[in-house]
Structure 1
């Protein structure tokens, strides 16, 4: 998995993994130099295309771009424009997919004889190996660019997909957007293993999103989608476990699911949200206690992983590992 992501990461040094990059353009729509400057930067960092404003007045194009585990995620706010990827913009070495989700305004996508017009809460999957056009009436959308090989690795039935319009109410799209929101809001450097998990789960959600509109795809069965969601919930716990106020209602708001749905998903693994959160915190604490060279106090570690008081932590730790935190540290040769 890591090798695949590393091989397919964007080549531009400006798009360092985990670092946010702004691609902005402001000016008069009639000023071709402003438009072309933004178009050039957009082509260098994201994807080659020809940009044409479709309305007179002010040209405004803003994209916040971040690469996570080899998957490029961008949040766009654009004035009315058309972005045309003709045959001359295609790269022989680029076999990727773009997944665009409207958040405000309307989008129209055309690829060959196929056209999709949609508004907020709908999406389209396009192929970079085909000429296509994306037109916006002005507003915002989320764009995700990922290697086709990555999607094919988790959903072989989608290996040759080139175009798919995803309608409103898709069951996996909301969870995907919650993941994307966590990515674009995160300004801190993301550890490689976490970044790869994010990339994998975003890809799984895209596969499930597409599969909901292609019910014959065996890989996108209901049980497979629920397994993806359970794995995604664990990744979200890994990211937010240190928050001492992380109850199920707060967590539900983070992942974009109801508390009832979360409990039902965990019940399929014969556990609960609170049990999984406690287990995650204890495991993070165990790793910190046994880490060579660590001199942090037991209390500091307990608070850092999300426990509110040391006595609760000590009791839970002993039940989980049949020894106290101090005894485990002593076994490793480290002092309190």
Structure 2
């Protein structure tokens, strides 16, 4: 029996395909490399939503207004964020979004505003209102940091949002589909998915990559530190992936995006040295097993280079993935089928009763 549902087909989808053996991520007929860094967040979300989510074609023109409407809904609730972590604050705000009437664009805008407001509150900064006329990536980056990004920063951030938008039937996306199959409502599906993402085995990996860079400190220390970590049996954060047996395609597009920020006040040069040291050490210690960098490695580096606090990495990921959650929830609803897997009982059986 497959544990963890590995290899079990639970849904048919037109949205995304993860090919771990070939290192490919396909979104609605496009390789990720064709989209990330070339299309806007709104364009890729509309691509995912076409023929599945109502009003997908209007997304580029309506998402800014959706952010503003979300701000009006959330503003009276912002004092309640005191003492909450960023992810808990985001969950709290999104729980205030009603299921009816179903509004996919409104929910996507709300996810971005909730993410930015919750992170600002968690870092003792005042949340900022949205700008309806700005692009989604540019506006979220400004609301996160308190200042607008330049062209290179916005491009890098938008590349990340696109790369994180959808990735097959992962734990949070499966959760969204299960909830959607009950007809609970779109907002309920997204809030449930966010709860699944909160777990460190799913959404929490980029932060420890930075902890590793903190410990290494200088490029000259990378070889010795990594060899010692492997000798202790520790996992190298940001290397290897449960699905990909070759390079994670998201790591490639994010590395390219990060390259546009090289030379600024960041740790890109250190990370590149750690990547090379890690790959060499893994090849020595684990011959015959390819372990490459994954998306968390360059996600951590990119978000840090954009001056986004570590506690915001998972909420930022959630704001991007909400577009995918919505697409999967709506696709699941089209089937009209309740997801109800079976279980295998391995507990004790009742003792036979005397005649």
The reply to whether TM is greater than 0.5 is no
State TM-score, norm by structure 1.
0.29
Q: Which has the higher strand share?
A: 1
Q: Which has the higher helix share?
A: 2
Of structures 1 and 2, the one scoring higher in RCO (CA 8 A, sep 6+) is 2
Per the normalisation by structure 2, the TM-score is 0.28
